[in-house]
Amino acid sequence: MPWSTVGSLVFVWWNTSLSPPIAKPPASDENVRFVVEQLRDIRLEIGFDILALGEVRSSDLQAIIDGLGDPNLRVHDATDRSGRLMYDTAVIYDCSKLSLESTHSMTDRFGNKALKTGEVVVLRVAATGDRIVMVVSHWPGRRNVPDCAPARPELGSSLRRYAERIHEEVPNAFIVLAGDYNDDPFSPSLANHMLATRDRSLARRNNRFLYNPFWRKLGESHDHNRSAEMQGVCGTHFYYGGDHSQWFTFDQIIFSSAFLQDSSMCLNEELCGIVAPSELRAKVITRREIFDHFPVLGTIEVRCES
Amino acid sequence: MTDFADAFKRGQDAAAQAAASRAEISAVFTEVNEQLNVATEGKLEIERKSFAKPQKKTVADLLGGAAGLNSFLARLEPAETEPWVAARNPQAADDGWVQLAKWYRPQEGYPCELTYDKTDARCHDRAALAEALAEMLANASIGEQIRRLLALPLKESKA
């Protein structure tokens, strides 16, 4: 079918590091201001339509919205620090392009322990009437749930099963998974249990698979050359004390098969990647700073039949 | 050579494990009911029940005039059902079951899922299910539904 592009939808996920889901006082004004400035730049330069945030609390969101100063932006504040399980994610979206249909949170429970699987946000695209189901996740860190713990694959299976259930009703459903999984694209939880594959043609052929463009963001961004290396990144998260690498690609945006098909919304992989402005990079690789994640970007083209 | 004997043994072990898990899940619901029975003096029961799945709108629905055709088709095809955790007041004149949370339990028993209000809880063992059911009962919107059930007019006594 011939399509003509009528616009795009830009997704950004960022674990801001401002308010981790642990009992801790709010971040300093200076750090909140820094996050606001970074987001303002991203909004100006890239023009996100859906901004999913991790490690935020309501006051951070208020500062971000005030700082962005855009009347088209709406917030779904899914944060909650009142219970034993603290929620730290939120979604800001452009209401001139999208409307919010519903939200709910998913948890996986093992004995008395509950783990956050994701926050589901269902959005309607104004231009085409299509529905996007977005699941924003901030999975537990490896200190709480080690990378070999059986709970991690269960979180991946849980999201795959959720996607399968949606596909039972709508085989070409547009599903976007975004977040800080505290797992790399090759981790069993994502690669084998969520079925977030590196193989585009497999994902296109079989909607049981999801396509994870962040497989392509695993290594050094720049070739070996000392001056270029100074600007490059080697993942989305930097941890000075990493055993085998200081860099991890924990932040990812993953797409359902429908975005690879001949359909009204199509993945634009040229505009998928890690957003690493130099001021943020400098902070991320500095131990005394709170920041340790880069934002990641995913873009889809919105098309109409021509 | 494929080890069919081993596969058979593993299948039987899995079947025994699945039966034990399903029995364990039923035991949790029995425990919930025992406690609710005491707390409400027999006015509240919680059970897993099947309800007809909501019908998707078809072109015929939109055309309006084809309503007769739709009801004819509905009589031919049995409604698809889906499991829910439901509640009722067995002492009320209207003692019908009311949906509280969507329920999913695989053949293996775990992980089973409860979906209600803005919560989707996937439970991987007995303690997790008990905790999730307790949280469901403590939820404000579920609480309101139960309150309505408890306030229903009682059946007239035959005496």
Per-residue pLDDT tens over the stretch A65-111: 999 999 999 999 999 998 888 999 999 999 999 999 999 999 999 99
User: Which residue of chain B has the CA closest to A107?
Assistant: B121
Closest Cα in chain B, distance from residue A72 (Å): 25
Which of A103, A107, A111 is the closest to B125 by Cβ? A111
Which of A104, A111, A154 is the closest to B119 by Cβ? A104
User: Which residue of chain A has the CA closest to B133?
Assistant: A109
Checking phi first, is residue B124 left (phi over 0); if not, alpha (psi -120 to 50) or beta? alpha
pTM: 0.90
Which of A103, A108, A109 is the closest to B118 by Cβ? A103
Say if CB A90 and CB A81 are below 8 A apart.
no
Q: Report angle CA A144, A195, A55 to the nearest 5 degrees.
A: 35
Contacts of B117 in chain A (CB under 8 A): 104
Neighbours of A263 (CB within 10 A): 16
The predicted-structure confidence for A193-228, as pLDDT tens digits, reads as follows 999 999 999 999 999 999 999 999 999 999 888 777
pLDDT for A96: 97
Element (H, E) at A8: strand A3-15
Write the single-letter amino acid at A33: R
B139 near A CB under 8 A: no
Count Cβ atoms within 10 A of the Cβ of residue B24 and give its class: 0-12 exposed, 13-18 middle, 19 or more buried: middle
Distance CA A96, CA B158 (A): 63
A243: which DSSP letter?
S
Closest Cα in chain A, distance from residue B141 (Å): 14
Beta bridge partners of A50: A11, A93
Contacts of B111 in chain A (CB under 8 A): 108, 154, 158
- Residues composing chain B: 159
Q: What is the ipTM of this complex?
A: 0.82
pLDDT exceeds cutoff 70 at B59? no
* Contact (CB<8Å) B122/A106: yes
B117 near A CB under 8 A: yes
Say if CB B102 and CB B119 are below 8 A apart.
no
A137 near B CB under 8 A: no
**Structure tokens given for A129:** 């009437």
Say if CB A93 and CB A123 are below 8 A apart.
yes
pLDDT for B73: 60
Checking phi first, is residue A87 left (phi over 0); if not, alpha (psi -120 to 50) or beta? beta
pLDDT for A223: 87
Q: Report angle CA B104, B106, B110 to the nearest 5 degrees.
A: 95
A71 near B CB under 8 A: no
Of B68, B61, B105, the residue nearest B85 (C-alpha): B105
Domain count, chain A: 1
Q: Which residues contact B111 (CB under 8 A, 6 or more apart)?
A: A108, A154, A158, B122, B123, B124
* Contact (CB<8Å) A110/B117: no
Strand stretches in A42-197, DSSP E: 50-54, 73-77, 90-94, 98-110, 113-125, 131-138, 174-180, 196-197
Contacts of B122 in chain A (CB under 8 A): 106-109, 117, 154, 158
Integer Rg of chain B from CA: 20
pLDDT for A137: 98
Domain at A217, CATH number: 3.60.10.10
Say if CB A21 and CB A88 are below 8 A apart.
yes
**Structure tokens given for B20:** 């034990």
- Give the sign of the dihedral formed by CA A239, CA A241, CA A247, CA A250: negative
Q: Report angle CA A236, A58, A274 to the nearest 5 degrees.
A: 15
Q: Which residues contact A306 (CB under 8 A, 6 or more apart)?
A: A2, A3, A4
Say if CB A24 and CB A17 are below 8 A apart.
no
**Structural domain containing residue A286:** 3-305
Which of A105, A108, A112 is the closest to B127 by Cβ? A112
pLDDT for A71: 96
The predicted-structure confidence for A215-264, as pLDDT tens digits, reads as follows 999 999 998 887 777 788 999 999 999 989 999 999 999 999 999 999 99
* Contact (CB<8Å) A110/B124: yes
Which of A105, A112, A120 is the closest to B131 by Cβ? A112
Distance CA A260, CA B8 (A): 41
The predicted-structure confidence for A19-77, as pLDDT tens digits, reads as follows 999 988 999 999 999 999 999 999 999 999 999 999 999 999 999 999 999 999 999 99
pLDDT for A63: 98
pLDDT for B68: 60
The predicted-structure confidence for A103-141, as pLDDT tens digits, reads as follows 999 999 999 889 999 999 999 999 999 999 999 999 999
Closest Cα in chain A, distance from residue B68 (Å): 26
* Contact (CB<8Å) B124/A104: no
Write the single-letter amino acid at B27: A
The predicted-structure confidence for A269-300, as pLDDT tens digits, reads as follows 999 999 999 999 999 999 999 999 999 999 99
Closest Cα in chain A, distance from residue B159 (Å): 48
pLDDT for A306: 80
A101 near B CB under 8 A: no
Closest Cα in chain A, distance from residue B76 (Å): 22
pLDDT for A147: 86
Say if CB A235 and CB A292 are below 8 A apart.
no
A80 near B CB under 8 A: no
Q: Which residues contact A231 (CB under 8 A, 6 or more apart)?
A: A222, A278, A281
* Contact (CB<8Å) A114/B121: yes
Counting residues of chain B whose pLDDT is more than 70, the rounded percentage is 85
Q: Report angle CA A59, A83, A182 to the nearest 5 degrees.
A: 75
